């Protein structure tokens, strides 16, 4: 990761100077391997068009160094892991992309495909490439990509960006076993500055480096002023806190129900004490019953998780699967035991404290302390419940504001086309033909998109990033389907109540 000084503070990013990987391996012995990955620049066309035998699909690319499959554990189903790119015009396809494009995932080495990335800077990479292998991307991978190009191809075609002044690529390193990461961080901090002479602008504006474990990258992805400031981990913590409160409410509810039903077990307590049972024996018995109840609840919960996972995957679009490890099993066992002990603590102490003579004679009375504890438990339970209900209502109303906020345009019945493929060469003709469709209200083009994503300051590239917008009435749905093949992923529809 790199921190760089900005006018409004420190900016943190995962992009680093292009020559960094080679220099790290050569100069720092603690680093055994380093891979560089270049993702496409974020613009109006985040994906390119991959074509074979007249059919085309959208695909997300990465430009990677040859050691990519040694640094990461993606499986190369076909191809040579030691030399994944035989030449600069060879590519690797994911098995999912291969299936869409070739309707097969095997024996595809040597096939020729066409890549079209538009007419901007990345358009220099347009052309014909040979398939050199097939790789698998697990469904639960945080990185999503469809096609891999050799990093050297990018370096050869975008020469003006390959320097210590430009940070366009991400660097992933493998450390030698037993490396002290604190000492290594100290070495890395001013590594970029060492490539410039003191007093120069390069030295002045060079960023500082620090390490982040790859396994922490997905959840801890937010930095403020150069320091970790949460990220997706905040959601994990929030839901964990909510879950803990819900579990605590359930424990309190169990206490209240157990003490309310105490009258049914009074004779049992009296007889057991008369025949010699101590208060400690009774406490252990009632706590054991509570822990057993928690274990049964755990088994029921695991069953419900397995039953609801398919629906949950469908709703969230996430491929989740239970993955049991020793650490997880110990954590679950600890939470279950703690739940049983907490929920059973007060009932066990309450029931075991009765005097046998008073119980058998039916002369029982509630002390002030007992009434206070019961009332406190009920108040606590309802307080937490009310707080959670208010929180849910607040979040719901915030979502309502976001969904109904005036965006400055009517987003219903608007279709967006990225200016790519044949469209970028016949834009005006396409606009005329679209405008002639009955039900189309208007057609326009613009630089960037309507959400504020526009081209940056890397130079003018004509109309490379233009998009087309078509506003239509409810009656033009069928006409659109005859004009455009909606099965082509190259068309993006911003859906409305059509």
| Residue range 429-483, pLDDT digits in tens | 888 898 888 888 888 887 766 666 555 443 333 333 345 555 555 444 444 433 3
DSSP one-letter string for 361-409? HT-----HHHHHHHHHHHHHHHHHHHHHHHHHHHHHHHHHHHHTS--SS
pLDDT, residue 468, reads: 56
157 exposure class (CB count in 10 Å sphere: 0-12, 13-18, 19+): middle
Percent residues over pLDDT 70 in the chain: 82
Bridge-partner residues for 404, per DSSP?
none
- Give the residue-averaged pLDDT of 57-65: 92
Look at residue 293 and tell me whether its pLDDT is greater than 80: yes
In a domain, 454, yes or no: yes
Q: Does residue 409 belong to any structural domain of this protein?
A: no
In this structure, the answer to whether residues 356 and 291 fall within a common structural domain is yes
Assess whether 205 and 259 both reside in one domain.
Answer: no
Q: Do 327 and 395 reside in the same domain of the chain?
A: yes
155 in the same domain as 56: yes
Is position 408 within any domain? Answer: no
Q: Where is average pLDDT lowest: 9-23, 289-303, 406-420?
A: 406-420
Same domain, 361 and 471: no
Q: Give the number of domains in the chain.
A: 3
User: Lowest-confidence range among 232-236, 242-246, 407-411, 488-492?
Assistant: 488-492
Is 383 within the bounds of a domain? yes
157 domain-assigned: yes
Short-list 496, 97, 491, 140, CA closest to 316: 140
Q: Are residues 149 and 239 in the same domain?
A: no
Task: Assess whether pLDDT exceeds 90 at residue 256.
Answer: no
* pLDDT tier at 362, thresholds 50, 70, 90: low
Structural domain containing residue 204? 2-227
Those residues with Cβ within 8 angstroms of residue 345's Cβ, 6 or more apart along the chain or in another chain: 255, 287
Q: What is the pLDDT of residue 323?
A: 79
Domain boundary among 403, 435, 470: 403
Q: Which of 453, 1, 36, 408 is nearest to 231 (CA)?
A: 1
- What count of other Cβ atoms lies within 10 Å of the Cβ of residue 457? 5
Q: Cβ(90)–Cβ(148) under 8 Å?
A: no
pLDDT at 368: 64
Classify residue 326: in a domain, yes or no: yes
Instruction: Select, from the ranges 25-29, 362-366, 412-416, the one with the highest average predicted confidence (pLDDT).
Output: 25-29
227, 255, 270: which is the final residue of a domain?
227
Q: Is residue 30 part of a domain?
A: yes
Domain-terminating residue out of 208, 227, 246: 227
In-domain check, residue 476: yes
Q: Which two tokens stand for residue 38?
A: 């270049």
Q: How much is the average pLDDT of 223-252?
A: 89
Token readout for 346 is 């007060």
Question: Per-residue pLDDT tens for 87-126?
Answer: 999 999 999 999 999 999 899 999 999 998 876 666 778 8
Q: Indicate if 39 and 60 belong to the same structural domain.
A: yes
> pTM above 0.95?
no
Chain centroid offset of residue 214 CA: 13
**Confidence at residue 184, expressed as pLDDT on a 0 to 100 scale:** 94
The answer to whether 182 and 126 are in contact (CB under 8 A) is no
In this structure, the answer to whether residues 222 and 351 fall within a common structural domain is no
My answer on whether 223 and 243 are in the same domain is no
Same domain, 147 and 247: no
Same domain membership, residue 335 and residue 187: no
Q: Are residues 237 and 377 in the same domain?
A: yes
């Amino acid at each position: 990761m790199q921190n760089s000084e900005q006018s409004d503070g420190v900016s943190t990013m995962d992009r680093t100077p292009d020559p960094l990987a080679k220099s790290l391996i050569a100069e720092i012995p603690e680093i055994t391997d380093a891979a560089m990955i270049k993702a496409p620049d974020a613009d109006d066309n985040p994906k390119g068009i991959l074509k074979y035998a007249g059919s085309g699909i959208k695909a997300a690319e990465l430009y990677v160094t040859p050691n990519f499959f040694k640094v990461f554990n993606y499986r190369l189903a076909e191809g040579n892991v030691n030399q994944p790119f035989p030449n600069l015009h060879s590519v690797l396809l994911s098995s999912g992309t291969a299936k869409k494009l070739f309707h097969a995932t095997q024996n595809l080495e040597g096939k020729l495909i066409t890549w079209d990335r538009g007419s901007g800077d990345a358009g220099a990479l347009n052309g014909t490439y040979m398939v050199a292998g097939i790789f698998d991307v697990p469904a639960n991978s945080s990185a999503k990509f469809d096609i891999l190009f050799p990093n050297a191809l990018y370096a050869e075609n975008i020469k003006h960006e390959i320097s210590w002044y430009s940070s366009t690529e991400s660097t992933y390193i493998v450390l030698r076993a037993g490396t002290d990461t604190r000492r290594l961080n100290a070495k890395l901090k001013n590594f970029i500055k060492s490539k410039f002479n003191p007093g120069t602008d390069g030295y002045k504006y060079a960023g500082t480096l620090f390490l982040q474990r790859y396994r922490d990258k997905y959840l801890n992805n937010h930095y403020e002023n150069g320091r970790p400031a949460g990220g997706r981990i905040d959601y994990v913590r929030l839901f964990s806190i909510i879950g803990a409160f819900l579990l605590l409410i359930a424990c309190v509810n169990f206490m209240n129900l157990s003490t309310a039903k105490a009258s049914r077990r009074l004779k049992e307590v009296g007889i057991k004490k008369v025949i010699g049972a101590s208060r400690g024996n009774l406490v252990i018995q009632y706590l054991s019953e509570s822990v057993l109840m928690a274990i049964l609840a755990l088994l029921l919960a695991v069953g419900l998780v397995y039953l609801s996972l398919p629906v949950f995957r469908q709703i969230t679009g996430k491929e989740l699967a239970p993955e049991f490890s020793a650490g997880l099993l110990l954590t679950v066992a600890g939470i279950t035991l703690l739940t049983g002990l907490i929920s059973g603590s007060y009932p066990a102490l309450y029931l075991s404290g009765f005097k046998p003579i008073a119980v058998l004679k039916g002369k029982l009375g509630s002390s002030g302390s007992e009434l206070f504890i019961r009332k406190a438990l009920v108040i606590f339970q309802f307080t937490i419940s009310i707080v959670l209900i208010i929180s849910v209502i607040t979040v719901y109303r915030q979502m309502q504001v976001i969904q109904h906020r005036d965006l400055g345009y009517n987003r219903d019945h608007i279709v967006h086309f990225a200016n790519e493929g044949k469209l970028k060469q016949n834009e005006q003709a396409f606009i005329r033909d679209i405008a002639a469709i009955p039900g189309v209200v208007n057609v326009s083009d613009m630089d960037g998109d309507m959400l504020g994503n526009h081209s940056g300051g890397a130079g003018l590239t004509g109309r490379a990033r233009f998009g087309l917008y078509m506003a239509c009435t409810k009656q033009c749905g069928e006409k659109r389907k005859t004009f455009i093949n909606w099965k082509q992923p190259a068309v993006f529809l911003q859906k409305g109540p059509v």
